[in-house]
Amino acid sequence: MKLAVVGAGAVGRSVVRMAGEYGHTVTAVADSSGAAVDSDGLGAEAVLSRKSARGSVGAADPGEALAAEYDALVEATPTTLGDAEPGFSHVRRALDRDRHVVLANKGPVAERYGDVRRLEDESDGEVLFEATVAGAIPVLGTIADYGPAQVTAVRGVLNGTANFILSRMAAEGLDYEHVLAEAQDLGVAEADPAFDVEGTDAALKCVILANVLGDGSYTLADAEVSGIVDIPPSALSLAQEDGRTVRLVGEATPTGIRVGPRLVSMDSPLAVGGTENIVQLETTHAGSLALRGRGAGGDETASAVLADVARLDR
Amino acid sequence: MSAVADVAETRRTYTVRLELVDEPGELMRALRPVAENGGNLLSVFHERGNLTPRGNIPVEVDLECSPGRFDDIVAGLRDAGVTVTQAGEDGYAEEVTLLLVGHLVDTDLSDTLATVESCSGASVADFSLDAPAGTDEQSSARLRLAVDPPQVSEVLSVVRDVADRKGLQVVEPLVEGER
């Protein structure tokens, strides 16, 4: 397949680097200031080294990537809330041209799921978004295989940064600020960690899951969200004395979304450590099912993007 | 990388009453079948000095296991020659453990606990407070409630309400399979 990649952050760059190995050709790449386009295929090394040396993937106007020849648009620009722009317009542009869209950007399916589905209905193109929920973990593919109607609830640990902080606090008896600083030094937490530690990122993933399971009308505003900022080490040690621990757990059902710190047994599958993620599906006929693995990272998330591309290619 | 794994069934809390002969090592021997059959001991209340009519020592054991394993545990105890006087439904209440975080002492802790106890079918079975910096700072508490199973969501909503009113944070248990 010919791919146009919009957004050249960690995920976009990994898609460009890995696409050839998966048998695909990248015909266009754009970042916020430039683009490189070649309908015969771009060399990944050339594009990526230009990006690291000069800050942009190419000299062309970013809009040219959207007008380029491609079968699927990989939308990997940063997640934005509210109108989900400019990601949403990129989706519209591709669907108007009857092209497929693979999203790594959560905004369009978390904030404007209904709009995305309406545009998809009018197009010959399809929209897939495995990479938006739990990185490399094939949650949406599994739900699609079981049938969304057979999945009654999804719950999980969906934010590696928050999980790293909680598990370090519990293991070392350190306070939140201390562990956050350590996580920032390690590159596990962003300079502005609000999105992760206040539960917003996990909530967006749950909103997407609830949209897939339910009628597709949810946005972030419908989620009941609380984060981990106010959890003191004393709470974690009380939990530990009792064979339990605290995890930031997200729950999505066809009727709602809830994210917050929850008490789980230390031997629960949900008590994953470090930056690991886990997702549990409750199914009508098959009990519960758990998938765990890496929920973030450029190559990990790009592998989910390329799994979607493979689904479109079938 | 990811893997599909089996998920443990919901674990529940059970109370088992035993009678032990007052001999060294008897308690250890009696508890072994619990772990061997997949149970997790929560607490053991060993009433030394309080003899049963048969002259044995009554012991109350709280344990956690999946409902499917509970019968195995009771059978394991009996196979090991332990006298089980009461098990399962008779002494059964769902135990709900949760954390409260905030200015617990300044917001009248005994009133908070009394409010929870005022729910029908709920009692505070165990309470631990950790107030690292005295009463000025935020403190944490762990509550273990014994709740009639049908009352669990009602009791949790009472806890949420009292916490909201007092500006406390509740870390609720995740009851797997629920909601």
Q: Kindly report, residue by residue over A7-41, the tens digit of the pLDDT.
A: 999 999 999 999 999 999 999 999 999 999 999 99
Q: Kindly report, residue by residue over A77-106, the tens digit of the pLDDT.
A: 999 999 999 999 999 999 999 999 999 999
The answer to which of A187-196, A219-228, A299-308, B34-43 has the lowest mean pLDDT is B34-43
Q: Please, which pLDDT band fits residue B90 given cuts at 50, 70 and 90?
A: very low
Mean pLDDT along residues B69-91: 78
Q: Please, which pLDDT band fits residue B4 given cuts at 50, 70 and 90?
A: very low
Q: CA-CA distance, B70 to B61, in Å (whole number)?
A: 13
Residue A291 contacts B, CB cutoff 8 Å: yes
Q: Please, which pLDDT band fits residue B7 given cuts at 50, 70 and 90?
A: very low
Enumerate the β-bridge partners of residue A29: A5, A36
Q: Name the percent of chain A in helix, strand, coil, to the closest 5.
A: 45, 20, 35
Q: Please, which pLDDT band fits residue B173 given cuts at 50, 70 and 90?
A: very high
Phi/psi of residue B172, nearest 5 degrees? -80, 155
Q: Read off the DSSP letter of residue A80.
A: -
Chain B residue with CA closest to A299: the answer is: B1
Q: B92 pLDDT exceeds 60?
A: no
Q: Are A47 and A12 a contacting pair, CB within 8 Å?
A: no
Q: Which of A156, A143, A87 is nearest to A115 (CA)?
A: A87
Measured between CB atoms, which of A234, A280, A293 is closest to B139?
A234
Residue A274 contacts B, CB cutoff 8 Å: no
Q: Residue A254, SS3? A: coil
Phi/psi of residue B142, nearest 5 degrees? -110, 130
Q: A303 pLDDT exceeds 90?
A: yes
Residue carrying the six token digits 């108007």: A96
Separation of CA B122 from chain center: 12
Q: Which of A263, A269, A260 is nearest to A237 (CA)?
A: A263
Same fold, B12-91 and B94-171: yes
Q: B17 pLDDT exceeds 90?
A: no
Compute the nearest-CA separation of B169 from chain A (Å).
8
Give me the amino acid identity at A84.
A
pLDDT of residue B54: 72
The answer to which of A101-115, A207-221, B110-124 has the lowest mean pLDDT is B110-124
Mean pLDDT along residues B146-175: 90
Q: A126 pLDDT exceeds 90?
A: yes
Q: CA-CA distance, A37 to A58, in Å (whole number)?
A: 8
Q: B86 pLDDT exceeds 50?
A: yes
Q: Which of A2, A18, A201 is nearest to A110 (CA)?
A: A201
Q: Which of B68, B71, B65, B67 is nearest to B87 (CA)?
A: B71
Structure tokens that stand for B102 in this block = 């905030």
Q: Which of A81, A63, A75, A67 is nearest to A105 (CA)?
A: A75
pLDDT of residue B133: 67
Distances (CA, A) of A294 to A165, A185, A289, B1: 16, 20, 17, 6
Mean pLDDT along residues B6-33: 78
Compute the nearest-CA separation of A163 from chain B (Å).
15
Q: What is the CATH number of domain B94-171?
A: 3.30.70.260
What is the share, in percent, of chain A residues with pLDDT greater than 70? 100
Which residues of A form the catalytic set?
Answer: 205
Q: CA-CA distance, A217 to A224, in Å (whole number)?
A: 15
Q: Which class would CATH give B12-91?
A: alpha beta
Q: Do B174 and A235 touch (CB under 8 A)?
A: no
Q: Are A206 and A158 a contacting pair, CB within 8 Å?
A: yes
Q: CA-CA distance, A228 to A137, in Å (whole number)?
A: 23
Q: A296 pLDDT exceeds 60?
A: yes
Compute the nearest-CA separation of B6 from chain A (Å).
6
Identify from B174, B175, B178 which residue to disrupt to test chain A contact, counting A C-beta atoms within 10 A and taking the largest count: B174
pLDDT of residue B94: 77
Distances (CA, A) of A12 to A8, A299, B177: 4, 9, 37
Q: Which domains does chain A have, with CATH numbers?
A: 2-135+298-313 (3.40.50.720), 141-294 (3.30.360.10)
Q: What is the 3 state secondary structure string of chain B?
A: CEEEEECCCCCEEEEEEEEECCCCCHHHHHHHHHHHCCCEEEEEEECCCCCCCCCCEEEEEEEEECHHHHHHHHHHHHHCCCEEEEEHHHHCCEEEEEEEEECCCCCCHHHHHHHHHCCCCEEEEEEEEECCCCCCCCEEEEEEEEECHHHHHHHHHHHHHHHHHHCCEEEEECCCCCC
Provide the residue ranges of all domains of chain B, joining segments of one domain with +: 12-91, 94-171
Q: Which of A157, A176, A172 is nearest to A268 (CA)?
A: A157
Residue B169 contacts A, CB cutoff 8 Å: yes
Residue A160 contacts B, CB cutoff 8 Å: no
Q: Which residues contact B77 (CB under 8 A, 6 or more apart)?
A: B16, B18, B30, B33, B34, B84
Separation of CA A60 from chain center: 28
